[in-house]
Structure 1
Amino acid sequence: MSRLWRRELWRLAALVLAGVLIGWPFSTVGAGVAVALALYLFYQLRQLHALQQWLTHHPQDEPPAASGLWGELFDRLYRYQKGQRITQRRLRDTLRRIQESSEAMRDSVVMLDRHGDMEWWNSAAERMLGLQPAHDRGQHITNLLRDPRFVDYLHARDYREPLTLSSPIDEQMILQFQITLYGDDERLLMARDITRLHRLEQMRRDFVANVSHELRTPLTVLAGYLETYGDMADQLPPRLGRGIAQMQSQTTRMQNLVNDLLLLSRLEIDRGGQDDTRLDPATLLDAVRRDAEALSAGRHHLEVVVEDPRGLQGSEKELHSAVSNLAFNAVRYAGEGSRIVLRWRAWGEGACLEVEDDGEGIDPLHIPRLTERFYRVDKGRSTATGGTGLGLAIVKHVLLRHDARLEIDSRPGEGATFRCLFPATRLVDGQPQPATQRA
């Protein structure tokens, strides 16, 4: 480009020199230079006019013919425009394919701007959410989805877990909402129809609850007769006595399993909150410690440590069940002679209720699945320990009902720590408690 500029400057200099030579014989050098500059200016204005006409009326046509600097400028603008048109066409094709693929999806897709206003959605969103292009475009999403749970979910900006709600136009349709952040704080809202899955899950819950309930009566009758026969063990043959003892053990195990299944069903169906009271963590942990001592029969060292004076708002029965399951697991699996600590302490703005032991520990490979029903790290020791395989599933559901979560930290040979993390909204002011209670 510098070469073209030098050529343009030489052209201007030559034109000025020509004006000087023409005006010299007539003693009108200034007039000659002025005429030369006027001609140069006219040429530049003519090329500028051609540029304006081309960009305004025929931008997609070939550029006007020109030489020198203007010709190079026309060519560069034309190539730039051509590249931009190709890029725009590709972007339009990509956008069209995205929209066509979104239209083909059975799930609702809604694009929200940084303020939460709806910019675009597919036809599935119109069927599931009742969106109308003529009226709802540009409206805030909470004008359509007014459920307080969705509003809290949207503003909390924690979208790791989906939200399940009824459709705003059909209460019988169950939708699972998931929000993803992208771009300049924009959001993509997806809603999936899980009505069939929800009904199947409800059928499963009802089936488990009904079967568990129906099993209680025959198990009670069976346990009663076995207890009677057990009292007469000295009058029975030894082989028959051993069989009755084993039947009693398995009947007790079955009763525990039925009770845990019924508790899980109730936790899944009932939203809870009706029996929330102010709990004293020290009293709760001490009660759990006494129960764990009875199970341990002196084979472990149990300790209660309270480091936070605040109380806890929740269901005493449910939290006692959750902490008992953690403590009983520690007694069953930590190994004889292990130290088990039940601790209540601050954790960030909230608080942590944890059960820690220095036993065998758990391979991190198993930790993500520990809260699944009937999942066991060692399937061969279920009969020996007497557990049902539902304890941690119960803990998980109890914590969900108390806005809390479970964290597990363990390594083989380094013991295990199970933390129940409660938010600050679940804490209440309380009086300081004794720092430590030992068994």
Structure 2
Amino acid sequence: MEKPFIWLLNLVALCALFAIVGAIGLHFSEFWLSIGILALLIVVWQFYQLFQLNLWIWHSKKMSPLTTFGPFGQLYQGIHQNQLKNRNKRKQLSHIISSYKAGSEALPDAVVVIDNDYKIVWCNRLARIELGLSWPDKQTLNIVEALKQPDFLNFLVAKRFESPLEMPSPANAHKILEFRGAPFVDNNMMLLIRDVTRLSQIEKMRKDFVANVSHELRTPLTVINGYLEMLPDAADLPPLLVNKAIGEMRTQSIRMQNLIEELLQLSRIEASNDRTFDKLVNVPKLLWQIQTEAQALNRDKHHKLFFDIAPKLYVYGIESELRSAFSNLIFNAIHYTPDKGVVEVKWHLSQNCARFSVKDNGDGIAQADIARITERFYRVDKARSRKTGGSGLGLSIVKHVLTHHNSSLKINSAVGIGSDFSCEFSAELTQIASKPL
């Protein structure tokens, strides 16, 4: 056995030392004096070694042990070996904790762990986004006070977790969240939160789609049918009238095609269950592409286009949806601003949030219309919308895209002065890149 052998060896060495010193003392007739001096030196040496050991354990930043001999040398080595073992165990535990956190962040649901006082012990990033939580900045954050929903408090108190709770998201009133609970370690409770907005929207979407298509397609179909009834007698009609009829039918068919494409796009956005917060979108690159398209669209309007784009400001989101929202706002400003106007597009950081804005000096929008302008097929000026080919779905698409990204469209407008459309993305979704993607 290692330890008995080491201590036996040390005892033999100590006895041998006393025997040698005693023999020398006998030779000079000072046996007890020599033994006493040796004992005193051993005591002093022991206290010195204890002092060094105390300094090494409590004050030294070095992990390597001091070099010495005897029992203290073996003691240093034993402590050092235990330190190495503990460090390896800490590394293993740290790796396990990191893997646990990474796995929790990869979950498709928001996860919150709370204690008996409803204080947040831990939550993943998706929970901070969906619930608007400021944890861990506020270490003692109480989830009941943060959500401020009586139904949620009753759900926690009752602890009847077999039936989930559905309620609007505190961070986004347009989202419906489903809360499920389960007991967790140390008398804690785990909450699983899932976005179920899509399920409640499917039936509404179907009804809206049928109603909108039947309403909006009726006019172009009536026009086309009217001309088709007239064309069998085209032999008696002037060629100019026939050409006009064919041109009008083509215009109406293109309008129907654009309308259907935008309705399908809107339906896809509403029904999308893509994880909005997984992928980082290179927004500057996206806006530079839209800028090229806007310049081509602006050839006949002769506006002054200004693009101020922060080159390293990215957001987490769905690129195709963001492209649709940004392009709709920019193209609308070009379409509805009188010729030789000014359109300013800005993408910048504002109080740790990414902010996008489109400003024009067009006709502006009356305050009574601003509240309804994002509704499907709502048009401020129906005659002008038809002239520009507008379907009345553009801002509705923008609204749903921003809702999907926990944002909202802000509109500041005055008749005769112009309009400013803007939106912000939360700090959790904002990322300043060190280098381009």
Q: TM-score, normalised by structure 1?
A: 0.50
2:289 counterpart residue number: 287
1:296 deviates by 2.5
- The amino acid of 2:298's aligned partner reads S
Q: Secondary structure at the match of 1:320?
A: helix
1:401 deviates by 1.1
Using the alignment, how far apart are the partners of 2:377 and 2:395 within structure 1? 9
- The amino acid of 1:205's aligned partner reads M
Using the alignment, how far apart are the partners of 2:166 and 2:246 within structure 1? 54
Using the alignment, how far apart are the partners of 1:293 and 1:202 within structure 2? 38
Taking a change above 3 Å as real, the CA distance of residues 306 and 254 of structure 1, as seen in their structure-2 partners, is same
- The amino acid of 2:176's aligned partner reads T
2:157 counterpart residue number: 140
1:308–1:432 Cα contact (<8 Å) kept: no
1:290 deviates by 2.1
1:396–1:405 Cα contact (<8 Å) kept: yes
Q: Secondary structure at the match of 1:405?
A: coil
Q: Which stretch has the larger CA shift, 141-150 or 401-410?
A: 141-150
- The amino acid of 2:250's aligned partner reads Q
Q: Which among 270, 273, 277 is matched to residue 271 of structure 1?
A: 273
1:301–1:340 Cα contact (<8 Å) kept: yes
2:173 counterpart residue number: 161
2:413–2:420 Cα contact (<8 Å) kept: yes
Identity over aligned residues, as a percent? Answer: 33
2:313–2:348 Cα contact (<8 Å) kept: no
Using the alignment, how far apart are the partners of 1:349 and 1:275 within structure 2? 17
1:409 deviates by 1.0
- The amino acid of 2:239's aligned partner reads P
Using the alignment, how far apart are the partners of 1:283 and 1:162 within structure 2? 29
Q: How many residues align?
A: 260
1:24 counterpart residue number: none
Is 1:343–2:346 an aligned residue pair?
yes
Is 1:327–2:330 an aligned residue pair?
yes
1:146 deviates by 9.2
Taking a change above 3 Å as real, the CA distance of residues 274 and 330 of structure 1, as seen in their structure-2 partners, is closer
Using the alignment, how far apart are the partners of 2:143 and 2:210 within structure 1? 48
1:253–1:386 Cα contact (<8 Å) kept: yes
2:284–2:313 Cα contact (<8 Å) kept: no
Using the alignment, how far apart are the partners of 1:332 and 1:257 within structure 2? 17
1:281 deviates by 2.3
Is 1:355–2:358 an aligned residue pair?
yes
Using the alignment, how far apart are the partners of 1:347 and 1:148 within structure 2? 35
Q: Secondary structure at the match of 1:418?
A: strand
2:276–2:404 Cα contact (<8 Å) kept: no
Taking a change above 3 Å as real, the CA distance of residues 432 and 334 of structure 1, as seen in their structure-2 partners, is farther
1:1-36: per-residue Cα shift (whole Å, max 9, x none)?
Answer: xxxxxxxxxxxxxxxxxxxxxxxxxxxxxxxxxxxx
The residue correspondences of 1:32-431 to structure 2 (distance < 5 A) are: 116=144, 140=157, 144=161, 153=169, 158=170, 161=173, 164-165=176-177, 202-207=202-207, 237-273=239-275, 277-299=279-301, 300-307=303-310, 309-431=312-434
Using the alignment, how far apart are the partners of 2:346 and 2:298 within structure 1? 18
- The amino acid of 2:338's aligned partner reads G
- The amino acid of 2:260's aligned partner reads V
Using the alignment, how far apart are the partners of 1:146 and 1:416 within structure 2? 47
Using the alignment, how far apart are the partners of 1:245 and 1:275 within structure 2? 46
1:320 deviates by 0.8
Using the alignment, how far apart are the partners of 1:330 and 1:162 within structure 2? 26
1:342–1:356 Cα contact (<8 Å) kept: yes
Using the alignment, how far apart are the partners of 1:253 and 1:303 within structure 2? 30
Ranges of 4+ aligned residues in structure 1 off by more than 6 Å: 145-150, 210-216
Give the CA RMSD over aligned residues: 4.4
2:165–2:178 Cα contact (<8 Å) kept: no
Q: Secondary structure at the match of 1:366?
A: helix
Q: TM-score, normalised by structure 2?
A: 0.50
2:347–2:357 Cα contact (<8 Å) kept: yes
Taking a change above 3 Å as real, the CA distance of residues 163 and 405 of structure 1, as seen in their structure-2 partners, is closer
Taking a change above 3 Å as real, the CA distance of residues 276 and 320 of structure 1, as seen in their structure-2 partners, is farther
- The amino acid of 2:426's aligned partner reads P
Q: Secondary structure at the match of 2:306?
A: strand
Using the alignment, how far apart are the partners of 2:295 and 2:311 within structure 1? 24
1:353–1:421 Cα contact (<8 Å) kept: yes
1:208–1:261 Cα contact (<8 Å) kept: no
1:180-230: per-residue Cα shift (whole Å, max 9, x none)?
Answer: xxxxxxxxxxxxxxx9xx87x6334235657999999xx9xx9xxx9xxxx
1:387 deviates by 0.6
